[in-house]
Amino acid sequence: MAGPLRGVRVIDMTSIAMGPYATQILGDMGAEVIKVEAPEGDVFRASGPAANQGMGPAYLNLNRNKYSVTLDAKKPGELEQLMHLIDGADVFISNVRPVALKRLGLDATTLCARSPKLIHCAAVGFGQNGPYAAQPAFDDIIQAMSGLADLQGHNTGVPAYVNTILADKVAGLTLAYAIPMALFERERSGQGQSIEVPMFETLVSFNLLEHMSGHSYVPPKGPMGYNRVLSPQRRPYPTRDGFLALLPYTDAQWQRFFALADRADLASDVRYSNASSRARHFNELYKDLADIVVQRDTAQWIALLADADIPHARVNTLESLLDDPHLSATGFFQHVQHPSEGPLITTSIPVRFSRTPGQIRSLAPRQDADRDIL
């Protein structure tokens, strides 16, 4: 079946993670994505162990459902080939710095004048109307500048990065929803437009949704930071033989948990009697929770908590996800045969459409594998 973006052609001049993640989502949903690489290729081709040079796992996991062509836009003849591809496209997306795009005539003003229905999307580090516009941006840099590294180090006093390329992926998801919105608007107006998605502003917005807290008001009614999330006691809790994620949330769930734990004293404790009181005493509450959880085995807790309908979960490792029963039942991991890399495991498309589902039609291509498109 065709995906919901069937018939949309995307010229993808992005590399690493932010842009490729977005364009892979578009490709999964049926768009025809043509990945245009410089002669040196996408940097992520060299990331991680590989069966063949230029086909690292990070690249494989970010570039399925795409064609690949190599063009050196600095050469007039190859720039003209790229222009020809863009002329026939619905979307052009690039993470090349805007100044460099303008030198090549690939900026929004030039391309939208040439193709008035084009959606021109710039995946940038910083909004181009601010003083940081020309600065280089990578995930670590944005995690630091956005306050995320400070949040991660809140309880230790030492800033730390999240152990995933969160800034790239959040910005990539933002790109992935912005582009179809522009396409939808074009269906009504008949006109294209330019889109700018800056990593910095995107991640600051993401971080501050709950952490603006008291600074949401003028004047502030309290400090920034959502205190439940920032509690040093908030963590997976040790059991007698492992770890358990546990989050009673409503008044009723807390009362059921205290009953399971045979802690009538805590059930009647005014500090924990309602959401407002608990919000002022999260550190004490979560410490009491930890003291209770360590008294039983993980399996015992899972059985008791399931019967009591209290939110909980076993703590998976990255490796144990491969054997998770729910992911197995939904067919989340797919065993596929790559034409050059051999047997691979890939993740499926998590979003499901009832009539026009997405589909993994092809796996990540070797560089310049589809030159006959030109």
Task: Indicate the domain borders of the chain.
Answer: 9-206+334-373, 237-314
> pLDDT tens digit string along 274-289?
999 999 999 999 999 9
Rg of the chain over CA atoms, in angstroms? 25
> pLDDT tens digit string along 39-89?
999 999 999 999 999 999 999 999 999 999 999 999 999 999 999 999 999
Q: Which CATH number is 237-314 given?
A: 3.30.1540.10
Q: Which CATH number is 9-206+334-373 given?
A: 3.40.50.10540
Distance CA 130, CA 93 (A): 21
Number of alpha helices (DSSP H) and beta strands (DSSP E) in the chain? 16, 11
φ and ψ at residue 62, rounded to 5 degrees:
-120, 0
3-state secondary structure 21-36: HHHHHHHHCCCEEEEE
Distance CA 92, CA 323 (A): 39
pLDDT at residue 1 in the model: 62
Q: Mean pLDDT, the chain, as a whole number?
A: 97
Query: Taking CA 41 as the corner, what is the angle to CA 59 and CA 61, rounded to the nearest 5 degrees?
Result: 10
> pLDDT tens digit string along 99-124?
999 999 999 999 999 999 999 999 99
Q: At residue 269, does pLDDT exceed 70? A: yes
> pLDDT tens digit string along 301-311?
999 999 999 99
